[in-house]
Amino acid sequence: MPAALNDLDLLQGTLDLLILKTLTWGPMHGYAVARWISDTTDDDLRIEEGALYTALHRMEKRGWLESEWGVSENNRKAKYYQLTTAGRKQLRSQTDVFTRYARAVFKVLQVA
Domain limits of the chain? Answer: 7-110
Alpha-carbon distance of 104 to 98, in angstroms, equals 10
* Percent residues over pLDDT 70 in the chain: 89
Alpha-carbon distance of 15 to 92, in angstroms, equals 15
Alpha-carbon distance of 52 to 33, in angstroms, equals 9
pLDDT digits (tens, 9 = 90+) for 14-34: 999 999 999 999 999 999 999
The pTM of this model reads 0.85
Q: Work out the pLDDT band at 94, boundaries 50, 70, 90.
A: very high
Provide the CATH topology of domain 7-110.
Answer: Arc Repressor Mutant, subunit A (1.10.10)
pLDDT at 99: 92
DSSP strands (E only) in 1-112: 28-29, 65-71, 77-83
Q: Work out the pLDDT band at 13, boundaries 50, 70, 90.
A: confident
Indicate the SS3 state at residue 70. strand
Residue 101: Cβ within 10 Å count: 15
